[in-house]
Structure 1
Amino acid sequence: MSQAELTVVPGSRVPPRALWTLGILRSELVTMFRRWRTLALLGVLAAVPVLVGTAVRIETGDGGQGGPGGGGGPAFLSQITGNGLFLVFAALSATLPVFLPLAVGVVAGDSLAGEAGGGTLRYLLVAPAGRTRLLLAKYASVLVFCLVATLVVAVSGLVTGVLLFPVGEMTTISGTRIGFGEGLLRAGLIAVVVAASLVGFAALGLFVSALTDSGVAAMAATVGVLITVQILDTMPQLSGIHPYLFPHYWLSFTDLLRDPVYGEGVARNLGLQALYAAVFGSAAWARFTTKDISV
């Protein structure tokens, strides 16, 4: 970005450093969403609901009532043929354990290490915004990606569900029926909760990215941590630590489909994500603000 782009308007009360921070954030977002890698990740995420919906439609033939045989697959899979809106929930259930965090891990892991490896990080630090504001801009851009990636899955699921299956009133987990409009509102709320579920992991990825100058190494390490923690979360011998692992409450968003809404699991999930964000965000700040950047 050029100095001219961030010239302070006479009489403006916006501090120059804040303008630099906003400019860096805007530049980060533009750069992120212009990369072919980011577009490819979003393309894969958008394809998952299409593949799931197409598979269910083919297996059920005319798309009538009833689900695919065997009862396997992601949660809500058997309800898709009765109401296409359930494809949104099934797609989020299918992508949250692997595809969504994998995409976030790639973006977060490369956020600082990729710049350092490419030799552009030290040029960014020339800006008056400073290291702390640069780190905040990086983290904010990753959080925007979390939201965009989740919305891509949800919107793809909604469009595919409407095109392939009937829609209308939906039956909640509690057995009550709600209107399509309320169902859409709950789908939007669930998408936001799913995006918020990735906040802690995004901070962890940012911390890993601050530890190395290799973008590939940071991405691999972040994804490796994700896989390791998810394996630990499935081991009954380690049930004592499960509530403290960041993916443990990821699927708690299903409680938002109860009537009345049951929010305890969601609250625990968001609280745990806030804790991870605070711990690993502070660790990333401590590392990045003292790191010797000479390349």
Structure 2
Amino acid sequence: MSRADLVKAGGSRNGGEARSAYGMREPKPLWTLGLFRSELAITFRRWRTIALLGVLAAVPILVGVAVKIETSDGSTIGGGGEGGGPAFIAQITNNGLFLVFTALAATLPFFLPMAIGVVAGDAIAGEANAGTLRYLLVAPAGRTRLLIVKYATTLTFCLAATLVVATSALATGALLFPLGDVTTISGTRMSFGDGLLRALLIALVVAASLIGVAALGLFVSTLTSSGIAAMATTVGLLITVQILDQIPQLHGLHPYFFSHYWLSFADLMRDPIYWDDLIKNLQMQGLYAAVFGSAAWARFGAKDVLA
């Protein structure tokens, strides 16, 4: 049974239930768990999604193996700037937990947002290209509800993708390197359990750092009926913004780019935690989500899906 057939059947059944005893159609809620579960199942069963998660899981393995080979003769890897990925790399040989921080720092600038851009860009445009969008808009879906469910599904993928990277890094780090007490950027030490909690908190912050990208991709997805065009445009915008964020002459604009505070998660490895940039990052992501989420809603509400 095709997706369109399932939606039609669900629309007929729930459409009858939505009528009151007086024959009037009751207002439809903006959220239904059944539609959300259906979107999750469809998204995570796609071979493209599985491939993206596989690539993300492979990155920490490649980094861990490379560090292991590089240090097999007893040498060490030099650290870079304070709080950045290279500084974490220098600690991997002493504690495999630092591979989690390194992997997240390595995947956040490109791999993670690219994966989110692909999923978000295909959310609406892919349905339009496949010819299933018009069926999804039949009761009990509706445009606003469908858009909310699509965005919630994309945010769930943000969390899943980040946890895949963190879990793969933790497993690889445990296999290749010793585990033990964690030395923070500030030079203090914490137990392995506390370090593991910090790693989980960092993963959650990284996932939250992608909600702006998800909203941007969803908006782009409402502008076209081509899933490939939406995905390519979203990924292209991601690359362009990050290039602009590296141009010194544009320093006045840098704080307004959604990627500018991405690596602020390293401040969670300070003692005490430095919250300023972390809060700025979350505020910026919320702003992008509000602006592009509203733009997606306005565009999708006026979109002619029958054209």
Aligned mates of 2:118, 2:229 — CA distance in 1: 10
CA apart distance, 1:229: 0.3
1:165 & 1:37 partners in 2: Cα distance?
32
Look up the match of 1:51.
62
**Paired-residue identity, %:** 70
Could you tell me how far apart the structure 2 residues matched to 1:20 and 1:277 are?
A: 18
More divergent stretch after superposition (123-132 vs 250-259): 123-132
CA contact (8 A) 1:20 1:127 kept: no
**Paired residue for 1:11?**
none
Show the counterpart of 2:20.
Answer: none
Do the aligned partners of residues 69 and 152 (structure 1) sit closer, same or farther apart at CA in structure 2, a change above 3 Å counting? same
How far did residue 40 of structure 1 move? 0.2
Task: For residue 19 of structure 1, report the CA deviation from its aligned partner.
Answer: 9.1
In 1, are the aligned partners of 2:126 and 2:227 still within 8 Å (CA)? yes
CA distance in 2, matches of 1:234, 1:19: 40
Task: Pick from 12, 26, 43 the counterpart of residue 32 of structure 1.
Answer: 43
Aligned to 1:161: 173
Whether contact under 8 Å (1:84, 1:164) holds in the other structure is: yes
**Residues 263 and 20 (structure 1 numbering): CA distance in 2 closer, same or farther, change over 3 Å?**
closer
TM-score computed with the length of structure 1 as normaliser:
0.93
Residue 146 of structure 1: CA displacement? 0.2
In the TM superposition, 1:170-189 aligns within 5 A as: 170-189=182-201
Distance in 2 between residues matched to 1:218 and 1:98, nearest whole Å? 17
Letter in 2 for 1:264: D
1:67 is aligned, of 76, 96, 114, to: 76
Structure 1 position 130, deviation (Å): 1.3
CA 1:276/1:18 → structure 2, altered by over 3 Å: closer, same or farther?
same
Segments of 5+ residues of structure 2 without an aligned counterpart are 1-5, 18-25
1:290 Cα deviation after fit? 0.8
* TM score, norm. by length of structure 2: 0.89
What value does the CA root-mean-square deviation take over the aligned residues?
2.1
Match of 2:298 in 1: 286
Alpha-carbon distance in structure 2 between the residues aligned to 1:97 and 1:20 = 32
Contact 1:67–1:77, Cα closer than 8 Å, also in 2: no
Unpaired segments ≥5 residues, structure 1: 9-14
Rounded Cα–Cα distance in structure 1 between residues aligned with 2:133 and 2:43: 15
Count of aligned positions: 288
Q: Are the aligned partners of 1:46 and 1:153 in contact in 2 as well (CA < 8 Å)?
A: yes
CA offsets 1:167-205 (integer angstroms, 9 cap, x no match): 010100000000000000000000000000000110000
Q: Establish whether residue 134 from structure 1 lines up as the match of residue 146 from structure 2.
A: yes
CA–CA distance in structure 2, aligned partners of residues 259 and 165 of structure 1? 24
C-alpha deviation, 1:68, in angstroms: 2.3
Partner of 2:32: helix, strand, or coil?
A: helix
Rounded to whole Å, the distance in 2 between the matches of 1:114 and 1:269 is 30
Deviation at 1:128, TM superposition (A): 2.6
For 1:261-295, what per-residue CA distance to the aligned partner results, in whole angstroms no more than 9, with x for missing partners? 11111100000000000000000000001111105
Deviation at 1:18, TM superposition (A): 4.2
Could you say which residue in structure 1 is the equivalent of 2:155? Answer: 143
Measured in 1, the distance between the counterparts of 2:112 and 2:139 equals 32
**Residue 12 of structure 1 aligns with which residue?**
none
Residue 67 of structure 1: CA displacement?
3.0
Go from structure 1 to structure 2 and tell me whether the alpha carbon gap of 1:230 and 1:151 turns closer, same or farther (over 3 Å shift).
same
2:95 corresponding residue in structure 1: 83
Report the AA paired with residue 192 of structure 1.
L
**Superposed CA offset, 1:84-105 (max 9, x none):** 0000000000000000000000
